[in-house]
């Protein structure tokens, strides 16, 4: 088989149906073996738990082609762990050890011709997800579940690539203090849609959410964690129990400390101190790091650097992490998992 005939350089961040996907069902208290199928349709009861009470969670990771032609994933064990953390919080069954990783590897291998070539700027986005599949009408957890994994080739998340994005401080809240902000539940994203549509209509790329209890501390955006650089070149990342523990952010802080010699401070970050930072970036699997050009707090605009380009520390972080992912910088033990 040969690589698919796709204009890899000009791919957007969208869904393209590939050849194969993975499906496994949970019934009578246990998961079945799971299989690879060509069938992309999900057929469930009209009363399925996911349709009535949004019992669903998901993950997002990528497969990359390295410089020496391998196909790899990046720290997939952390996605497996986070998926089980999400399942536990949503009263869904956990996946047995190794099932998540095996499913991801199988789907990537089955769609190997869809993995974008090295240097194209595109990657294969992997979407594992789980949902309650049997009828549920009284409010309670489902008894049956489906775990699926599909893949789709993607280009950059933000249209401008590494061009700076502009945010607004949102008047909506993303996650309650003892709620579900720290897990990857579909419901967190459903309730953020109105906020993002509103921000886009007002000309912003994304929202900065504050902590709902005091509305004074920085949490995250709808799809990425923040990383700030102070004027001494140190990294500052917001600490909160209601933000998603981003694998990219957790990796960037290690890269900053071990590869670039930065000090890393994980602490509460006040909205009022943003003006004191030199650089600001959004980190996540989709965009790696997107530089933030400005944050508009109700007419009070905070600008980072020249407001357009990636700052120097952010650039070094970006180059080092993508270098590890693409295989031309040696990463810490266990970070890069070779599929083929």
Least separation in angstroms between CB 87 and ligand PLP: 16
**In 10 A of CB 202, how many CB atoms?**
9
Q: Name the one range near ligand PLP by CB under 6 A: 137-145, 244-252, 253-261, 301-309.
A: 244-252
Strand, coil or helix: 281: strand
Task: Answer yes or no: are the C-beta atoms of 314 and 281 closer than 8 Å.
Answer: yes
Q: How would you classify the pairing of strands 279-284 and 336-338? A: unpaired
Residues contacting residue 323 through CB under 8 Å, at least 6 positions apart: 329
Shortest spacing between CB 78 and ligand PLP, in angstroms: 7
Give the bridge partners for 179, in sequence order: none
**Minimal distance in Å, beta carbon 224 to ligand PLP?**
5
Backbone angles phi, psi at 247, to 5 degrees: -70, -35
Q: Rounded CA gap, 206 and 204, in Å?
A: 6
State the nearest-atom distance from the C-beta of 118 to ligand PLP, in Å: 21
In the complex, the smallest distance separating the C-beta of residue 292 from ligand PLP, rounded to whole angstroms, is 14
Neighbours of 91 (CB within 10 A): 12
User: Could you tell me how far CA 242 lies from the centroid of its own chain?
Assistant: 15
Report the residue number, 44 or 101, with the smaller CB distance to ligand PLP: 101
How many whole angstroms separate alpha carbon 254 and alpha carbon 259? 8
By C-beta, is 49 or 281 nearer to ligand PLP?
281
**Number of chain positions touching ligand PLP (CB under 6 A):** 13
Which is closer to ligand PLP, CB of 20 or CB of 75? 75
Stretch that binds ligand PLP, among 48-56, 157-165, 205-213, 241-249 (CB under 6 A): 241-249
User: Closer to ligand PLP at the Cβ: 143 or 266?
Assistant: 266
Q: Return the number of the residue (240 or 285) whose C-beta is nearest ligand PLP.
A: 285
Residue 225 touches ligand PLP, criterion: CB under 6 A: yes
Rounded Cα distance between 139 and 146, Å, is 19
Which strand (E) or helix (H) includes residue 57?
strand 56-58
Near ligand PLP by CB under 6 A: residue from 244, 289, 292, 324: 244
Residues 246 to 265: which contact ligand PLP by CB under 6 A? 246-249
**By the rule CB under 6 A, 220 interacts with ligand PLP:** yes
Please give the full DSSP string across 136-203, using - where no structure is assigned: --SSS--S-EEEEEEEEEE--SSTTTTSPEEEEE-SS-S--TTSSTTS-BHHHHHTTHHHHHHHHHTT
Tell me: does residue 196 bind ligand PLP (CB under 6 A).
no
Instruction: Say if residues 240 and 217 touch (Cβ distance below 8 Å).
Output: yes
Q: Identify residues 84-103 at the interface with ligand PLP (CB under 6 A).
A: none
> Would you call 135 helix, strand, or coil by DSSP?
strand
Assess 126 for contact with ligand PLP (CB under 6 A): no
Should residue 223 be labelled a site residue for ligand PLP when binding is judged by CB under 6 A? yes
Which residue lies nearer to ligand PLP by CB, 108 or 142?
Answer: 108
Beta strands 235-238 and 264-267 are parallel
Q: How far is the CB of 38 from ligand PLP (least distance, A)?
A: 27
With CB under 6 A as the contact rule, the residue among 23, 44, 60, 70 that binds ligand PLP is: 60
Q: Could you report how far apart the first and last alpha carbons of the chain are, in Å?
A: 15
Stretch that binds ligand PLP, among 125-133, 196-204, 234-242, 243-251 (CB under 6 A): 243-251
Give catalytic residue positions: 184
Query: CB of 152: closest distance to ligand PLP in angstroms?
Result: 15
Q: What residues between 271 and 310 interact with ligand PLP by CB under 6 A? A: 283-285
Q: Is 28 helix (H, G, I), strand (E, B) or coil?
A: coil
- For residues 170 and 285, which CB has a smaller minimum distance to ligand PLP in the complex? 285
Binding site for ligand PLP (CB under 6 A): 60, 220, 223-225, 244, 246-249, 283-285
């Amino acid at each position: 088989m040969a690589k698919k005939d796709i204009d890899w350089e000009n791919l957007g961040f969208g869904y393209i149906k590939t050849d194969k996907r993975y499906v496994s069902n949970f019934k009578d208290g246990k998961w079945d073996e799971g299989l690879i199928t060509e069938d992309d349709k999900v057929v469930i009861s009209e009363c399925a738990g996911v349709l009535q009470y949004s019992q669903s969670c998901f993950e997002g990771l990528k497969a990359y082609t390295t410089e020496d032609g391998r196909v790899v994933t990046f720290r997939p064990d952390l996605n497996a762990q986070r998926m089980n953390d999400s399942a536990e919080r949503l009263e869904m069954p956990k996946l047995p050890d190794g099932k998540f990783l095996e499913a991801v590897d199988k789907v990537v291998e089955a769609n190997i011709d869809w993995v974008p070539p090295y240097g194209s700027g595109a990657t294969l986005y992997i979407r594992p997800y789980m949902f309650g599949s049997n009828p549920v009408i009284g409010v309670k957890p489902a008894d049956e579940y489906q775990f699926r994994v599909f893949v789709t080739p993607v280009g950059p998340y933000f249209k401008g690539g590494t061009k700076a994005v502009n945010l607004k401080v949102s008047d909506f809240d993303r996650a309650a203090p003892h709620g579900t902000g720290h897990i990857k539940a579909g419901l967190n994203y459903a309730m953020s849609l109105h906020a993002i549509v509103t921000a886009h209509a007002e000309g912003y790329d994304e929202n900065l959410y504050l902590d709902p209890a005091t509305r004074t501390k920085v949490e995250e955006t709808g799809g990425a964690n923040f990383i700030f650089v102070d004027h001494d070149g140190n990294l500052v990342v917001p600490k909160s129990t209601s933000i998603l523990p981003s694998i990219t952010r957790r990796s960037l802080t290690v890269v900053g400390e071990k590869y670039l010699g930065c000090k890393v401070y994980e602490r509460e970050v006040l909205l009022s101190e943003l003006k004191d930072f030199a650089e600001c970036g959004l980190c996540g699997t989709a965009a790696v790091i997107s530089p933030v050009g400005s944050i508009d707090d109700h007419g009070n605009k905070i600008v980072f650097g020249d407001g357009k380009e990636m700052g120097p520390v952010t650039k070094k972080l970006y180059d080092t992490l993508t270098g590890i992912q693409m295989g031309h910088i040696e990463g810490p033990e266990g970070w890069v998992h070779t599929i083929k």
